[in-house]
Structure 1
Amino acid sequence: MSTMREVAAAAGVSVKTVSRVFNGDPHVLRPTRERVQAILREMNYVPSDLPAALRAGRASVIGVAIPDIIDPFFAAITQAVQISANERGMQTLVTSLGGDVSAEPSMVEGLLKRGLSGLIMTPIGPDQSYLRAWSGKVPLVFVDRQPSQLAADSISDDDEGGAVLATRHLLEHGHRRIAFLGDHPVFLTTIKRVEGYCAELGRSGIEPDEDLIVPGVNDRAEAREAVTRLLALPDPPTAIFSSNARCTMVLLPAIENLGLAVVGFGDFPMADVVTPSVTVIDQDPHKIGRLAAERVFDRLDHPARRFRRRTVLPVGLRRRRSCCATPQNPAGEPCT
């Protein structure tokens, strides 16, 4: 797509003259106007509405960069951003960052170079300092995971508090050997959930056992391997705290009919109808997405504001049957 600057160079005039011709200014000399119009047609010039949108105090495109677009949690965040953007007369551009942490900078900066009005993202890499050059130009809002080496707005859940709730609930059901299965150990969400899990065990007089902490469970094969290793321990776990919805979904086939009690961090589709139905720490990804979009709007409306805000949302426990599963009753009982 040709730019106005390229049209100006081809026509031998200034960018301002091209703009005046394009906008129908009658004061441009006829020969100049006709020459510029011919070049506009020849180069198939299509204007970008972003500069005009920004001058008018509104924006046209919000970028959304998330780890996995099919993950129910991130899909719900994206849907909420899209709804909020549409209400504002804006569009969204969504990309999945995948699992290659080294690719994050190029993928994210590639989005930003498209002239985004704002970016909402969940980082997958350990360092977001590459975004410092952009932070003063484009509103950046991080969701679920806070950035590292960068001061920016963020909206996340109470990861540590949710882990405390899950661990305490399993302890109240009499479990003393509780395993932790989760995401990559470098993610702040995983770190905080491990901290909450260990802290609650410690308050109950139980020394956390490193053999029961298994990060990096992202697919069914890894889940089967983790469960096999855990059950082979001299003193195997009787319960599992799964630290995210994706991990819980790949875990369920590996523990079918084993009678292991489970509490997962994050709800997911069908969690209430599988056997046993899954007790979860209940997040609100739609609220996260809506608040993130509103934060972008606020930054666009008030560009002079420099203070970065961190919002941490409370979570709760949704009781179902999986927390009551036993080897004698793998289907569990309703939790009250």
Structure 2
Amino acid sequence: MKDVAAAAEVALKTVSRVVNEEPGVNAATAARVVAAIERLGYRRNESARVLRKGRTASIGLVIEDVADPFYSGISRAVEDVALRNGSLVLSGSTGKEPERERGLVLTFCSRRVDGLIIVPTGSDHEYLLPELDAGIAAVFVDRPGGLDVDTVLSDNSGGARTGVTHLIRHGHRRIAYVGDSASIFTATERLYGYRHALRDAGLPYDESLVATGPAEQAGTALTGMLSFDDPPTAVFTGNSRITVAVLRTGHRLPMVAFDDFELADLLVPGVTVVAQDPVRLGSTAAELLFRRLAGELGTPERIELPTRLIPRGSGELRPS
């Protein structure tokens, strides 16, 4: 900065005012300082600047699996918002392991991140309380975390209800549900939506048509249901991994899937989906976090984003 001041023939304080966009410098002088900055290749020391404000210009992002397109969509959106706010993102994947989540979060806190965006894995997040009391900001995304903090979700129940109702309207009365583990919030909400749609239509809930668990078991579960004397005529799948596992069995049952996925529109027939918006989930969570970091107060918000049905053919097939 001293070299810039000398080159522009101004005081060091004048350079500081121009660099920090403070008032009190006339346009001609400011232009001279900017020209000197560009000529010398000066870069402001962001670390020192934010540390003076008690910040590190970084946030922590904890997701389930960075390789999953749904979570990579969230991650990219968080990065975009962070960059607009002059911040970097430290990220890690939990692999559905609560202890790994806890370790990642506390590691990020030890590195003095300004805030956290977390896709919760475990049900116990009391370990976060000391960090929240110390002033760190946190937002849960995709699932609630059991603490009274800002949370951004999709309408899981409503989306599932819409998808199953779509199958019912196309004549199906025996609809299988194949979803993720019932201990996961999103899976529980989607199963609730499935049951709600059946109830709305006056149809019975048949536990033998419901399978929950890892994606690796989804195909076997559906194959078993198709061996019944009164098999399902359609299936509702609870997430994209489950959907792909079901498709790999070769069964081409009329289907509506929760979550869009790559190439879903190129299959024959195309897969009808209930699409959530991971990019909007990530950007909404990040924008909310940065508003808190900027000083916005108020009670924690719970934002639920809508889903949308995309008909492509598989959900419009009638019972054979």
**When the two structures are superposed, what TM-score results if normalisation uses the length of structure 1?**
0.77
Q: Is the 8 Å Cα contact of residues 182 and 188 (structure 2) preserved in structure 1?
A: yes
| Count of matched residue pairs | 275
Q: Is the 8 Å Cα contact of residues 260 and 327 (structure 1) preserved in structure 2?
A: no
2:309 maps to 1:312: no
Structure 2 CA distance, aligned partners of 1:170 and 1:193?
15
2:271 maps to 1:278: yes
The aligned amino acid for 1:60 is A
Q: Is the 8 Å Cα contact of residues 218 and 250 (structure 1) preserved in structure 2?
A: yes
Of the candidates 241, 254, 271, which is equivalent to residue 261 of structure 1? Answer: 254
Per-residue Cα deviation, 1:127-159 (whole angstroms, up to 9, x for no partner): 2222122223211111111112x1111111111
Structure 1 CA distance, aligned partners of 2:319 and 2:204?
25
Q: RMSD value over aligned CA atoms? A: 2.1
Alignment correspondent of 1:226: 221
- Pairwise CA distance, 1:274: 2.2
Per-residue Cα deviation, 1:6-39 (whole angstroms, up to 9, x for no partner): xxxxxxxxxxxxxxxxxxxxxxxxxxxxxxxxxx
Structure 1 CA distance, aligned partners of 2:126 and 2:176?
34
SS of the residue 1:295 aligns to: helix
- Pairwise CA distance, 1:223: 2.2
Alignment correspondent of 1:168: 165
Runs of 4 or more above 2 Å deviation: 48-52, 54-59, 99-104, 324-328
Alpha carbons of structure 1 residues 58 and 115: separation in structure 2 relative to 1, 3 Å: closer
Alignment correspondent of 2:203: 206
**When the two structures are superposed, what TM-score results if normalisation uses the length of structure 2?**
0.80
2:232 maps to 1:237: yes
The aligned amino acid for 1:287 is R
Structure 1 CA distance, aligned partners of 2:75 and 2:90?
10
Structure 2 matches for 1:1-336, cutoff 5 A?
52-53=49-50, 55-56=52-53, 60-136=57-133, 137-148=135-146, 150-219=147-216, 222-254=217-249, 256=250, 258-302=251-295, 305-325=297-317
The aligned amino acid for 1:180 is Y
Q: Is the 8 Å Cα contact of residues 181 and 217 (structure 1) preserved in structure 2?
A: no
Structure 1 CA distance, aligned partners of 2:285 and 2:56?
15
SS of the residue 2:213 aligns to: coil
- Pairwise CA distance, 1:251: 2.0
Structure 1 CA distance, aligned partners of 2:111 and 2:83?
19
SS of the residue 2:263 aligns to: coil
Q: Is the 8 Å Cα contact of residues 57 and 300 (structure 1) preserved in structure 2?
A: no
Q: Is the 8 Å Cα contact of residues 135 and 152 (structure 1) preserved in structure 2?
A: no
Per-residue Cα deviation, 1:236-286 (whole angstroms, up to 9, x for no partner): 1111111112221222112x2x33111111112211112321111121111
Alignment correspondent of 2:40: none
The aligned amino acid for 2:266 is V
Structure 2 CA distance, aligned partners of 1:242 and 1:300?
38
Which segment drifts farther, 293-302 or 264-273?
A: 264-273
Aligned sequence identity (%):
38
The aligned amino acid for 1:279 is T
- Pairwise CA distance, 1:224: 2.2
- Pairwise CA distance, 1:233: 2.5
Could you list the runs of 5+ residues in structure 2 that have no partner in the other structure? 1-44
- Pairwise CA distance, 1:111: 2.3
Structure 1 CA distance, aligned partners of 2:299 and 2:151?
12
SS of the residue 1:89 aligns to: coil
SS of the residue 2:153 aligns to: strand
Could you list the runs of 5+ residues in structure 1 that have no partner in the other structure? 1-47, 329-336
